[in-house]
Every structure is written in structure tokens, then in C-alpha cells.
Structure 1
Amino acid sequence: MDALQFTHLIRDIPLGKKLPDAVYLHKDSFSEIEASLTQFIHAVAKALKVETQDWHIVKLSRNEFRLSLLSYPSFFTEAYPSLTQSVTVDLNKLSHRIVDYKNSDNPPILHRKETMLPTHHTSYEEFECITQEGENAGLYDNSRMIGFKQSWLRVIERHGYTLLDGRLFRSSALTSPNNSEQASSIDRHKTAIVRHELSAPMKQLAKQGYLNGDYTIFDYGCGRGDDLTELQAHGLDAIGWDPNFRPEDDKLTSDLVNIGFVINVIEDQVERSEALIGAWLLTQKLLVVSAMLANDKYISQFTPYKDGVITSRNTFQKYYAQAELKGYIERTLDENAIAIAPGIYYVFKDKIEEQRFLSGRFKRHHAWKQITAPTPTSEEQARLLFTRHHELLNRFWDRCLQLGRLPVQEEFSEIADINSALGNAKKALKLLLQVQGEQATSEFEAAIEMRREDLLVYFALCQFEQHKGYQHLPEEQKRDIKVFFDTYRVALAESKTLLYRIANTEEIEAACSQAHESLPASKLNLGHSLELHKKFLPYLPALLRVYVGAAAQLYGELDEIDVVKIHITSGKVSFMGYDDFDTSPLPTLRERIKVKMWQLDVDFFDYVEKDNRPPLIYKSQFQDETFEDFNKQISFDKRLKKEDIFEDNKRPCNLNAVTSSLKPKGLEIRGYRFYKLT
């Protein structure tokens, strides 16, 4: 069965719980649908070794070649059964994902069960009656907020009802949730800090060009509104809402919605999920979700409360691990969450914009040389034509090098001028290559190869994160695919091969050795790791770019990172951030992040005490002449090595150890120089 047949069969299903993007059916309804579809569903389950007793409902996508096998073992015994496991199958990618809810205290639940059964089923009338009770009580008025167990129980309680033996009974009075005396005294408003610059999530939006004035912005849980004040001062259309400081303001849909450090201060798990879902409902293009991260050692100093802690300021905090936060967002919203920085994730509602963003992350940018105007001669008409339109052709050439191909009209605003002067873009490129000769030809061939490799890296990393398919690609990427790969299938096949190769330690080791030979600067620890400055990442072979890129997807942007270590045999990548890397001959290690690729997990190591931060010895190993202090660092490292103060190549644990080692020699360090002690 192919995607077209699948879509047609789903469209013709005569029963089921029908939503805009999917149809839900119980297995007892299969006699009412096309036999080929039933056989196909059972064949998928058998292929994945999902036993018949382990799934009860099938969710059939109406827009994609995708289905989910859902386990509701209490479908016939509970009024609102809980989901215990889902197996989601992408039939285009031939991949599947299993999510286990058995130990969840807030699993997804099922409503309107009768819609998933044929009308002659023995349970149909009973289930219809249960649904009618909920309709009469007004429980389905906001269907977005009733999909999870705790949210559903909260809705029932708010409407003045009690769920007893699966049926609704009117409560004698509407009672408030029992949050305990401690919970009622938590000072949530104290978590709204005063800011003197943009918050970290807003800085990320600014960095990636989303604060350019083209988008409306809503800050969900804006606190005192310092971000809004700054954004509005720049003339941006930015508004916000906060339950403590701006409760009277409206919640309005916007292109960009930021829910910054909100979910971690809400002690009630249901309210926390409702806040995240509420922010998502306001989002038109992009939702930014951020929360506090911390390790167990830091959390242990506080008083435990529910799934978080009470801080010394009497505020609640739910501290997350990076992977835990991603999982929470994706379970709650059923959307892909993209790591941008530690504790900051993007969730795109606009899937075209998502692909445009992802493509831009993995595209290399080089400063291409401008074409110099040749001296015109009467002997060659081509050179005269080139000279006449020199500036226009320079701009056209730059765009060709950026794309690795000819631009179309929407990719080069002066294409009409090119057509008028030279006939068409193809003739313009031919003229450029003719006039500039072999140098231009080599440069354009390099641009083609670079762009093709960038796309392979991008598609490989998209498959690592299981992002959406071809229908969500921007038009410019579809043109790239046609030029560089001919078909999307070929692009996926090549990128999938590239992605799988990162598990081959022999290939990783070979690529590290190759990179060490070709990079401007790096440190190769034979058989163990390759270390390099992050500015040299674009020069890595494609295999290592995917390897590091996958790790960065689990961690986020590398803004605060200086050195990257690629572990050859252990399936790990480490990111190191140093204090004063660009201005100190001995920068000290501020933070180390170890991404465990095989476990899809991230470990954070913060060096809180400045005096105990280990220094980076021989920093010049990671630099070339493009670093401002390169020459000074080379001289410093030569002198440091000459003094031979490190016994058995042991590195000092902190700067005080370096100072102590130099004292017996009567030396001290000031800046990049050594001085005699007076």
C-alpha cells in the first residue's frame, strides 16, 4: 500500500472519532472498513512485533502516511480510560517511536468512546450515555484542556461534579483543590526577577533574526515586563500577560510566543501543563519554551516539595535535566522540540519556517572573494559586456556562490536586470565563468560541492531528530534537492547513510585524523579524541559535522562554548566553555557539557568556584592567525613549555597551582608575559 491509497482509504472510512488530522478506531470496528486497510494495519503491527493484546485503538493520519497503535487496556471497564503505550509508525521513513505511559500520573485519556465503535456494538449505548453526561455538564466546551487525566479531573471538579464508578455526580459544593497549607503560601510572584537586559530566550530570538519587526510577539508569563519594555522601545509589536503583575491584560494570538521560565515555577502539574498548552494555542509560528536546569547536587540544598523544591525565597522550582525538559514539552504538545540552548527549546507551529530555520543552522557561510574588473579590450566583446555590468554581475556571482546554483527570481531581487542586460541567468553565469577563467570555475565547483555537503548534513540531522518530510520544506530547499540530488528520495538515502556512519568508530577515527591534517588548528589525542575551537567546526568533514551537529541538537546553540572535543570510541561529544578565552593566556574552564550520543543524554559540569577552575594549557594549539592574541599566545606557550613546570605532563588543577610551580623559579605571570619576582 502506498501513501495515496492510504489517504483515499482513510477518507472513505464511514465511522470513527474524526479529528482534522486523524481518525481513531477501535479494533471492534474493523469489520466496517475496507478489508485491505484492516490487513495493512495488522501487517504493520506484526512487522513491529506489537502483539494483538497490546493495542486496542488505531490512530490513522488523514494528511500523512502515518498511524499509531494505542494501548487502552481499560477501554471497556473505565469511562475515561488511560493510554498505557503508543507506537507511532512513520510509513514514509519506515521508522517508529514507542512512548510508555504506564508509570505516568498524568497520562492521555480517551473521550467519546462510542464514536470508535459501530452503532450495533453492545457497548455503544452505554458509552453514548457517558458522553452525553459530559456534554450536559459542559465538560467538553474547551476540548484542548481535557486530553490528560489530571486536567480532566480538574475540569470535572471545576464544574461541580464528582467522578464515581465512572459516572458523573453533582457535588454538594464546588471545592478548591487541596494544595496543603504550604502550597497556598508559596510566593510565586517572587520568581519574577527584575532584568536589566533581554532574557536569554529573547536574546536567542534576536540572534536568529526573529526580532526584526516582521513578527508579532506575546510574552506568556511576562513577570514585571522588562523584556516587553525593551522590545517596545525598539518599535516591536510586543505584548504580554502575567497572573501576578498583568492579570487584566488579554491573551492574544501572535506569531512568536515566549513562555520563559514559567513552567518551572508552577507547583501544580495540571496547571503547569495547561500553561504550556495555553501558550501553544496562542502561537501562530513559533513557541519558545524555557525552564531552569540543575543537577542533583544543587537541588539537594532545598526542601523537596511535590516534583520540585521550595527555595530559600519560598518559591517553588521544578528543575529539569535537558533531556527531561525536551520530553516534557513533546509529550504535552505532541510536537518536535528543538534545543536552542541549555533549558531553551523552539517548537514550530509553522512547519515551513521550522525547515527554513533548521537548514540555516547547518549551512556554512564563507566570505567569497569579489570578482575584480578586468581591463576591457576591443578584442573580446564578452569582456566589454562584463565591464559594463560589473557591479550587477558581482552581486549575481556572490548569490550563485551562496546557493551553489543559479538563483530564481525570488532568490535574487535583480534578476530582471540580469535578464535585460544579458538575456537570462544562465547566460550571465556562462559569461562570468568565461571572463574569469579557471579560477572562477574552480570556485563555483567548490561552492556546488559545499552546498551539496551542507544539505546532506542538514538532512542527516533532520532524520536524527525525526523532523517532518518533503511537504514541509521551503520552496528554495525543494529547488536545492532538484539540482543537487534530483529527487528527495535520493537525498534522504544518502543522508541516512551518512547519519548511520557516525556509529562506526573506525570511520570516526579516520575522519578525526583527516580533520587534524586539514584544520587550521586542532589537537589530536591518538585513539581517543579530537579537540578544536568551535570556529573551525564548519571545516570538519561531513561525517564529523553530523556527529557534532547531533550532539548540539541535544544540547543547544554553542554561544557560550569555546572548545569541542570529539570522543572517538565512546560515542560522546564534550563542549567546554572557558572564561576569557580570547583575552587570557590561561583561560579557565567554566563549564563542561558531555553529550552521550548512544544514550541521548546530556551531563552538565559547572565549575562554580572560580579559584578551582582548571586552566587551558597551551591555548595556541586551538588557534590560528585569525585570533587577535595568536602571536602573543605562541610566545607565551613557548616560554611556558621552556620552563617545564608540569611534572610527568600533569596539568595543574587551577591557576594557583601554576603560580606555585613558577615561584621556585622566581617567576610570575602578568598578562601574556613572564616577569622576575622582585
Structure 2
Amino acid sequence: MTESTLEWGSARDRTAIRRSGLSMPLRMALRDRVIATDRTVLDYGCGRGEDVRRLGHMQFDAYGWDPYYAPEGRREPADVVMLTYVLNVIEDVTERMETLRRAWSLTNKVLVVSCRLVWERAQVSGEERNDGILTSRDTFQHLFTTNELRVLVEDVTGQRCLSPTPGVVYVFRTDEDRLAYLARETIARHEWAISSDHASAIAEVISFAEAKGRPPLLEEIPPETAPLIAELTRSELIRLVQRSANPTRLADGTKRSTLDTLLYLGISIFNGRPRLSDLPVSVQADIRHCFSSYREACARADRLLLKIRDDTYIRGAMSNSVGKLTATALYTHRRAVPQMPVVLRLYEHCGSVAAGRPDEWNILKLDHRGRRVSWSSYPEFDKDPHPRLAWTFGVDMTNLESKHQSFEGRDNRPILHRKEEFVAPDDTYAAKYRRLTSAEVKAGLYTNPTLIGLEHGWEAELGRCGVELRGHRLVKRRSSNVGTANAAEQEHG
């Protein structure tokens, strides 16, 4: 990004669109608590400044600079620097790198870089020019792959980056901030209820202990709760938990903390194994509680990473996991992912760190021959008895290349059957799904399994069997080629 619009090779100012709300990268940064009220924010290449104005309305200390719309804006170092859809409008590769370098030089804590991706090609009309597209409006777009974006940012900043969602990467200045972010992503947080007196505060301490398997540290107790139990020493707090907490729940909490910690340490190694003292205090506490030493915890995490490469081990883990196992992969609903073996959760997290986990997915696919992680979206999964596939996004773990496929708008989309196989047995809706599947089997709808994977084939089989769906109930068709036209409606399940 040059300071003079005269040096631009295209009308870059025309790419600054008006938005009705916050930009997607800004929403991600707020969601992930990368942006907080005690941090300054610089929008570098802010366009029309809409994100800056909205952050200001939300009481954030935010400011922006843009060579066309805000050339007199503040270009001062900030805790968080947003580089939002800037690199992809720059025609020159060297200038892209220099723009990224300048943004990084202004970053105190974290740089948030976002770019448009190659799967958006259908949305950009124009002719191929250099390594991008020159549109009829004389604007330029270089569409990145997720791997290309990651490599560019890492090469320029000299830091490993993390991707919260495809097309967005975070680059942290310090290990402390990066490790804190990873902890938020991988370790379940305890949500403290508001306490009004000593008794309710004690109840919350017990609830925390049963969730984590250990008493909370002072740093983990909310500021409004801590004064209510301030008279208790650490030893008294420990004895209170030992006396009052449910032993079974404590044991379950310890197991969860052990698995979450192994997951965290397995992912953190991709940026270099941190020292124990560099870890968030809550993670340090979990390690001391769940393992004999930090060395033991790291060794177990390393063994998990090695097992991801072991086809036999992965297949065994999948055979004992919640979800639907096929000849090539395991498919699991989003709600059931926390119940998967930790090695499979680590497998999924490795893919998400490399390419980003897309929003609004609900089915996870893990290949056990080769290594590929895919996330798919089946809208209305719980309401639609046989939801249609909207899109898939997958990353090949051997080369970190990703691919997005959209099925929306297609005439004959893939659909799901036997939904109970994707969720946990105790899932809220599992019993309803099982009843529907039983009725469909009884009606003969699964006699020709190769025909029912797509919408048209499924509709044909419904017609052949003379039935139709009303929500998650299977009933006879009122007017059908099978049976009489005036047959009374009859439920099969």
C-alpha cells in the first residue's frame, strides 16, 4: 500500500465497500477476544472507516489510516492491527510484502490479516491479469489459497501464525499471548455464575472443582466472587473441595482436564514447545494436578502427535469414537466432537490451525487413509429429516492445501440419512432420529442404498414406496401410485 494514490496501478479505492455491520475479520477478533477494551486498535488500510467508527461506538480505542479515504489518519503503533482485505487488492507482490511488513512494524500484540480466497472466483468478474483479476471497474483482486496466505505472513513476520477461520490469520508478538489464545481455543472454560453471598460463592468453587478436577487458583476466581471467600486460605479451600465435592464428578473433571491439556500441548508444539512458566497459569495448574511433571505431560502429548501418523492406531480410535465410520473416514456431528478420543480431536485441531475452521459447520470428517480434515454444512440439521449439503471445506494435512466446494444452487444435492449415527447416543435428538430411521427401514426406503444419496434418487424411492415425510414422521402419501388414492394416512413409526 503506497502513500500516494498516483502510484496505484488500479482503482484500489473502489474496493472499499460499504457494510451494514462489522467486517467478518473484526467479528472473529472480537469473538476470540483478540480485541479487548483495554487494547488499542489500528485499522491499517481502513477504507471508508466503518469498522473504526463501530468500534468507537462500542467504546474501543480504535483509529484508522487509509491512503485514499483517511490519508491524515493516525498511523501509530497499536496493540491490535487489522489488515482487512488489503493485500489482495495490491497488484505488485513486492508491495504486498512491504505493506504487510509496515503493518507488522506497528503491531504491539497481534496482527490480524484477512484476504479473499480462491473459491470466491465466481464472485469476481473480470480478466486475468498478472497473478489476479482486473475487473471492469478497474479494481484488482489477487485471490489467495489458505496455505499461500499463511506462508506469506510467516515469511514476512518471521512468526508462526494461527488461523481462526479460512482467510484470516493471527500473528502474535509474544508467546504469552499466542499460548493464551490457544488455551481459549482448546481448554473448556468454566462459566462462573454470579454470587451474592458466601454460600453461593462456595457453591461456585465446588462447581469449578467438579468441572476441572481441582480447586480454582485465586487468578481464576472472578473479581466479584473473590471477596466473598477471602477469609479462606488455600489449604482451607482445598479441604473444602475434598469434603464437599462429588468424588465421581471430581474424577471426571480430572479426566477432562488431562485430555484438554494433552490437546493443548500437542497443538502448541507447532510453534515450538513452550516453557512451563510461559503457559497460562490455569494450564500450569492443570499440568501440576494431572501429571507428575511437565516433562511427562509433554512426552504424552508428543506420543499423541506421533499416533496421528499411525493408520492402524487412528482406525482403532475411530472404531471406538462417537460418529459414523465408513471404509475411508469418520463423520461426526459438531455436538459430539468433544466426546471423540483426544487423538482425533488433536487431528482436527491440527487441520484448523493450518487452514482455519470455517463457521457454521456441523459435520466433521476425518480421513483415516491419508490425512485430510473436512468440515461440512448441512443447514437445518435438527429440523430437516434429511438435510441437504450446502458446502464442504477440507485441508490436506500432507501439503496443507485446502479446498472449498459449494453445493448451494445445485439441482441434485447430497443428503444425509440415519442422522442418529452422527451424534452421541445420549444426544437430545438421537431418539427421534432413531425412530425415523426405523420407520424408513420398515417402509423399504433403504432397499437400494446406492440410489438415495442424492435428492432425486431419494424422492424417487419415497414415491416408489408410497410415503412422504412430515417433519420426522413418515406417513403414507395421500395420492400415490402405490396403494389407493383415498387411503387413510398411516404413520409407519
With the shorter chain as reference, the TM-score category is 0.7 to 0.9
Partner of 1:583: 383
Partner of 1:441: 247
**Partner letter of residue 111 of structure 2?**
L
The CA deviation at 1:578 is 1.7
Q: Distance in 1 between matches of 2:111 and 2:273?
A: 16
Partner deviation per Cα, 1:219-240 (whole Å, 9 max, x = no partner): 1222222222322222222221
Q: Distance in 2 between matches of 1:255 and 1:369?
A: 31
Partner deviation per Cα, 1:49-71 (whole Å, 9 max, x = no partner): xxxxxxxxxxxxxxxxxxxxxxx
**Partner letter of residue 76 of structure 2?**
L
* 1:398 corresponds to which of 185, 207, 218: 207
Q: Look up the SS of the partner of 1:395 in the other structure.
A: helix
**Partner letter of residue 202 of structure 2?**
L
Partner of 2:72: 248
* 1:321 corresponds to which of 132, 145, 149: 145
Asked if the contact 1:284/1:350 (under 8 Å) is kept, the reply is no
Partner deviation per Cα, 1:196-255 (whole Å, 9 max, x = no partner): 122111111222234552322221222222222322222222221222222221212222
The CA deviation at 1:356 is 0.7
Q: Look up the SS of the partner of 1:589 in the other structure.
A: coil
The CA deviation at 1:261 is 1.0
Partner of 1:496: 302
Q: Distance in 2 between matches of 1:354 and 1:296?
A: 30
Residue 429 of structure 2 corresponds to residue 605 of structure 1? no
The CA deviation at 1:608 is 4.3
Partner of 1:4: none
Q: Look up the SS of the partner of 2:448 in the other structure.
A: helix
Q: 1:294 to 1:582 in 2, by over 3 A?
A: farther
Q: Equivalent residues in 2 for 1:209-248 (5 A)?
A: 209-248=33-72
Asked if the contact 1:456/1:495 (under 8 Å) is kept, the reply is yes
Q: Look up the SS of the partner of 1:661 in the other structure.
A: helix
Q: Distance in 2 between matches of 1:482 and 1:626?
A: 33
Asked if the contact 2:444/2:465 (under 8 Å) is kept, the reply is no
Partner of 2:218: 409
Residue 393 of structure 2 corresponds to residue 593 of structure 1? yes
Partner deviation per Cα, 1:29-83 (whole Å, 9 max, x = no partner): xxxxxxxxxxxxxxxxxxxxxxxxxxxxxxxxxxxxxxxxxxxxxxxxxxxxxxx
Q: 1:435 to 1:267 in 2, by over 3 A?
A: closer
Partner of 2:24: 200
Residue 361 of structure 2 corresponds to residue 530 of structure 1? no
Number of residue equivalences: 473
Residue 477 of structure 2 corresponds to residue 676 of structure 1? yes
Asked if the contact 1:337/1:346 (under 8 Å) is kept, the reply is yes
Q: 1:623 to 1:367 in 2, by over 3 A?
A: farther
Asked if the contact 2:176/2:278 (under 8 Å) is kept, the reply is yes
The CA deviation at 1:297 is 7.4
Residue 130 of structure 2 corresponds to residue 306 of structure 1? yes
Residue 454 of structure 2 corresponds to residue 648 of structure 1? no
Q: Distance in 2 between matches of 1:654 and 1:229?
A: 47
* 1:658 corresponds to which of 458, 463, 488: 458
Q: Look up the SS of the partner of 2:109 in the other structure.
A: strand
The CA deviation at 1:366 is 7.1
**Partner letter of residue 239 of structure 1?**
Y
Partner deviation per Cα, 1:152-180 (whole Å, 9 max, x = no partner): xx9xxx9xxxxxxxxxxxxxxxxx97xxx
Q: Distance in 2 between matches of 1:404 and 1:648?
A: 50
The CA deviation at 1:272 is 1.3
The CA deviation at 1:335 is 0.9
Q: Distance in 1 between matches of 2:118 and 2:152?
A: 16
Partner of 1:512: 318
The CA deviation at 1:493 is 2.1
* 1:551 corresponds to which of 345, 351, 356: 351
Q: Equivalent residues in 2 for 1:350-389 (5 A)?
A: 350-365=174-189
The CA deviation at 1:638 is 3.4
* 1:274 corresponds to which of 98, 110, 127: 98
Q: Distance in 1 between matches of 2:468 and 2:397?
A: 42
The CA deviation at 1:492 is 2.2
Q: Look up the SS of the partner of 1:594 in the other structure.
A: strand
The CA deviation at 1:259 is 0.7
Partner deviation per Cα, 1:270-329 (whole Å, 9 max, x = no partner): 221122112212211111111111149759974221221223443211111111110011
Residue 421 of structure 2 corresponds to residue 615 of structure 1? no
Asked if the contact 1:309/1:316 (under 8 Å) is kept, the reply is yes
Range with greater deviation from structure 2 (252-261 or 325-334): 252-261
Asked if the contact 1:589/1:613 (under 8 Å) is kept, the reply is yes
Q: Look up the SS of the partner of 2:38 in the other structure.
A: coil
Q: 1:668 to 1:447 in 2, by over 3 A?
A: closer
Residue 207 of structure 2 corresponds to residue 431 of structure 1? no
Asked if the contact 2:124/2:135 (under 8 Å) is kept, the reply is no
Q: Which runs of 5 or more structure 1 residues have no equivalent in the other structure?
A: 1-150, 159-175, 178-182, 371-387, 517-521
Asked if the contact 1:265/1:317 (under 8 Å) is kept, the reply is yes
Q: 1:396 to 1:628 in 2, by over 3 A?
A: closer
Asked if the contact 2:166/2:358 (under 8 Å) is kept, the reply is no
* 2:360 corresponds to which of 549, 560, 570: 560
Q: 1:626 to 1:540 in 2, by over 3 A?
A: closer
Q: 1:677 to 1:251 in 2, by over 3 A?
A: farther
Q: Look up the SS of the partner of 1:579 in the other structure.
A: coil
Partner of 1:293: 117
Range with greater deviation from structure 2 (289-298 or 324-333): 289-298
Q: Distance in 1 between matches of 2:193 and 2:133?
A: 56
**Partner letter of residue 405 of structure 1?**
R
Asked if the contact 2:81/2:111 (under 8 Å) is kept, the reply is yes
The CA deviation at 1:584 is 1.7
The CA deviation at 1:629 is 5.6
Percent identity, aligned pairs only?
Answer: 29
Partner deviation per Cα, 1:522-562 (whole Å, 9 max, x = no partner): 2122x532211112111112211211111221231353211
Asked if the contact 1:219/1:257 (under 8 Å) is kept, the reply is yes
**Partner letter of residue 99 of structure 2?**
A
**Partner letter of residue 187 of structure 1?**
A
Higher relative contact order (CA 8 A, sep 6+): 2
Partner deviation per Cα, 1:484-523 (whole Å, 9 max, x = no partner): 445433332221112111111111111112224xxxxx21
Larger radius of gyration: 1
Q: Look up the SS of the partner of 2:389 in the other structure.
A: strand
**Partner letter of residue 235 of structure 1?**
Q
The TM-score normalised by the length of structure 2 is 0.85
Asked if the contact 1:393/1:428 (under 8 Å) is kept, the reply is no
Q: Look up the SS of the partner of 1:611 in the other structure.
A: coil
Asked if the contact 1:574/1:595 (under 8 Å) is kept, the reply is yes
Q: Distance in 1 between matches of 2:274 and 2:151?
A: 18
Q: Look up the SS of the partner of 2:48 in the other structure.
A: coil
Asked if the contact 2:416/2:453 (under 8 Å) is kept, the reply is no
Q: 1:626 to 1:213 in 2, by over 3 A?
A: farther
**Partner letter of residue 247 of structure 2?**
T
**Partner letter of residue 523 of structure 1?**
K
Q: Look up the SS of the partner of 2:19 in the other structure.
A: coil
Range with greater deviation from structure 2 (306-315 or 400-409): 400-409
The TM-score normalised by the length of structure 1 is 0.64
Q: 1:263 to 1:367 in 2, by over 3 A?
A: closer
Partner of 1:452: 258
Partner of 1:170: none
**Partner letter of residue 325 of structure 2?**
L
**Partner letter of residue 397 of structure 1?**
I
Q: Distance in 1 between matches of 2:181 and 2:35?
A: 14
Partner of 1:62: none
Q: 1:299 to 1:583 in 2, by over 3 A?
A: closer
Q: Distance in 2 between matches of 1:626 and 1:293?
A: 39
